[in-house]
Amino acid sequence: AQKVTQAQTEISVVEKEDVTLDCVYETRDTTYYLFWYKQPPSGELVFLIRRNSFDEQNEISGRYSWNFQKSTSSFNFTITASQVVDSAVYFCALGNSGGGADGLTFGKGTHLIIQP
Amino acid sequence: EAGVAQSPRYKIIEKRQSVAFWCNPISGHATLYWYQQILGQGPKLLIQFQNNGVVDDSQLPKDRFSAERLKGVDSTLKIQPAKLEDSAVYLCASSLRGAGTRSYEQYFGPGTRLTVT
């Protein structure tokens, strides 16, 4: 069975601070995909990144960066110089690859509050 | 490019009544998913379609939930009869994924918020 754990239920930081959201996953598959989604107060899930299990390179996109470590089954997300607009619930998710079902298994989410 | 469309946005019903939700995926997306998101939790997959065929419905409570995607485009999710614990946001997502291809990112609609009283 697949499982995603986001141990941080809520994080509150002051604007311009850096913040890291943790994600730990469990799967028996050798090929899989990891995702991060943002859910702002409006409720719509916004896709941020997809990473496959064979690519352990870290990725940076503007103020966002992701650290994938297969050895610890973690896929952490860092926001540098946080802004109030980053306030949202962030979900880490795990999906299968290859043919067949690829519905996502989500963690419970981390509510990020950026205070001005 | 238009995103995933869902309707209605909100619905309030009494327990034991029936309700239906509609989803129109992004044009050209072969795969469609329905998720249930209970307050304070992450979304949970209910059913996955590829074109008009069901790929995975292992977590769909089939005694009361049903879904169809007859022409491989729009989809309808129905609950009959509803229970109090069905109160949640029902999210539809779509992806480019075709048969035998790798997984793609899923794009989500705004959801339908269902309240069962």
Q: pLDDT (tens digit, 9 = 90+) per residue, B18-76?
A: 999 999 999 989 899 999 999 999 999 999 999 889 999 999 999 999 999 988 899 99
Beta partners for B4? none
First to last CA, chain B: 37
Burial class (CB in 10 A: 0-12, 13-18, 19+), B27: exposed
Question: How many residues does this entry show for chain A?
Answer: 116
Alpha-carbon distance A78 to A55, whole Å? 18
Alpha-carbon distance A3 to A25, whole Å? 6
Residues of chain A in contact with residue B97, where contact means CB-CB under 8 angstroms, are 102
The helix or strand, by DSSP H or E, that contains position B32, with its residue range, turns out to be strand B31-37
Task: Give SS3 for A67.
Answer: strand
Q: What are phi and psi of A85, to 5 degrees?
A: -65, -15
Instruction: Say yes or no: B22 contacts chain A, CB-CB below 8 A.
Output: no
Quick check: A108 and B42 CB within 8 A? yes
pLDDT tens across the length of chain A (116 residues): 789 999 999 999 999 999 999 999 999 988 899 999 999 998 899 999 989 888 888 888 999 999 999 999 999 999 999 999 999 999 999 997 655 678 899 999 999 999 99
What is the model's pLDDT at position B102?
A: 64
Chain A residue with the nearest C-alpha to that of B56: A101
CB contacts under 8 A, A 55-114 vs B, are 91, 93, 95-109
Helices (H) and strands (E) in chain A, counts: 0, 12
